[in-house]
Structure 1
């Protein structure tokens, strides 16, 4: 088969599957026919099918779950800001797959801003965690987190690739969460953020500064979250009194 014929075939497969997704024939989280089924249906090679599926995945119309196949995406995933939840806690509850790539976890001397937010003296030891959060195999946020050392030491013994820090604090450290203060703005991605999220440097990202307190009102978790705005949303319901 020539490269031109292959391009025509994979384009046809891509467009027919795309029409079923956008036309509502397949609903969010419906399983897309397997590679073998599509090969038999269209009489094409596996590489042609994979090329078509790869382009649908790049367009965020489907997502792949290793060992299970491809599934229809549910539009742009989102997390409600009106409820204090960890990322995995919220996303897994909506049927998405999540995991974290831990870039670093170590103790550092608290800078002025971190110390002020956590109610510590400047230079006090804190635990710093840097993670890339993945949703349905795609990087969606770079999270920078600081905790008082007494809590941060516990994280070294935990499985941060799959677990939320919020759940570790509550379930393993016996530290119930109370409330969080948030500030949101849009910023250009610096080199670190762009590299972690697969974006060009300077691309706009959503920046969230979050300070979480325990039930007694003590600040215990200070974060800067940098989120891809093209693939993920935060939502909130507001009530008029």
Structure 2
């Protein structure tokens, strides 16, 4: 494969490494370097763009921080797969959100059991500790690849209804609304990062110690009653959550507007 020389412009207001970063980013995004393909070596990039190794390393370092490339020790630099994402500004199930974007979603039901509520689960669902709840564990597959492990807890009476439902192809949110007649209201989320343990390694086909995005989601019905508590474990290399945050639309009310007659 011919690799024509590309001369960057030293007189350009952007530094050489920024120009190189922009050029390589464009080639990655337009498919010139497809996902999981190997990038040219540092020497090849030096020769092709007529720049120093330091310039090449700076440009590649920025692209790695952006998540566009990754390095494997002793093998080279590779183009990363685009990450699927879910917008969390709306309350949607995983399949509901991903299917609308053209992804194929399947679930592997790992277990469905009735267990005593731990103190944490009980506090979230506002029930006594030790009361029986339904625990559902599912591996979510995106285009046939495992992306997340979902551990769901619902009150026992709801779980008995879910026992008869199709948990392989349907979101629990859809089942709650359409089959159980429960109107959903809102959800509270907390997000952090953890390292994969043996169970996650087995479920998601990743190495132990890999980065995992962990989400706790507590869903309430339309009356504000908590009905569904979940741990969502997403592979850090395959998925991201996105959230739009707006600045306050209206200025704070003035003192005169908020004062009351005594």
Under a length normalisation based on structure 2, what TM-score does the superposition of the two structures give?
Answer: 0.65
Residue of structure 1 equivalent to 2:73:
none
Partner Cα distance (1:21, 1:103) in 2: 37
Partner Cα distance (1:184, 1:152) in 2: 25
2:138 is paired with a residue whose SS is strand
Residue of structure 2 equivalent to 1:181:
188
The CA deviation string for residues 197-219 of structure 1, in whole angstroms up to 9 with x for no partner, is 11111111000011000000000
Partner Cα distance (1:24, 1:227) in 2: 26
Q: 1:23 Cα deviation (Å)?
A: 3.1
1:23-38 paired onto structure 2 within 5 Å: 23-24=30-31
Structure 2: segments with no counterpart, 5+ residues: 1-26, 33-78, 249-262
Q: 1:155 Cα deviation (Å)?
A: 1.1
Asked if 1:142 corresponds to 2:158, the answer is: no
2:208 is paired with a residue whose SS is coil
2:103 is paired with a residue whose SS is coil
Partner Cα distance (2:215, 2:28) in 1: 32
Residue of structure 2 equivalent to 1:157:
164
Partner Cα distance (1:222, 1:129) in 2: 11
Asked if 1:120 corresponds to 2:122, the answer is: no
Residue of structure 2 equivalent to 1:211:
218
Q: Find the partner of 2:204 among 194, 197, 201.
A: 197
Q: Find the partner of 2:117 among 106, 110, 120.
A: 110
The CA deviation string for residues 4-49 of structure 1, in whole angstroms up to 9 with x for no partner, is xxxxxxxxxxxxxxxx995358xxxxxxxxxxxxxxxxxxxxxxxx
1:169 is paired with a residue whose SS is helix
Partner Cα distance (2:145, 2:208) in 1: 18
Asked if 1:80 corresponds to 2:87, the answer is: yes
Asked if 1:224 corresponds to 2:231, the answer is: yes
1:195 is paired with a residue whose SS is helix
Q: 1:60 Cα deviation (Å)?
A: 7.1
Q: 1:233 Cα deviation (Å)?
A: 1.0
1:193 is paired with a residue whose SS is helix
2:160 is paired with a residue whose SS is helix
Q: 1:193 Cα deviation (Å)?
A: 0.9
The CA deviation string for residues 150-200 of structure 1, in whole angstroms up to 9 with x for no partner, is 111111111101000000001110101100001000001111011111111
User: How many equivalent residue pairs?
Assistant: 180
> CA 1:98–1:21 in structure 2 vs 1: closer, same or farther (change >3 Å)?
farther
* Structure with bigger gyration radius: 2
Asked if 1:240 corresponds to 2:218, the answer is: no
Under a length normalisation based on structure 1, what TM-score does the superposition of the two structures give?
Answer: 0.71
The CA deviation string for residues 24-83 of structure 1, in whole angstroms up to 9 with x for no partner, is 58xxxxxxxxxxxxxxxxxxxxxxxxxxxxxxxxx776xxxxxxxxxxxxx311000110
RMSD between aligned residues: 2.2
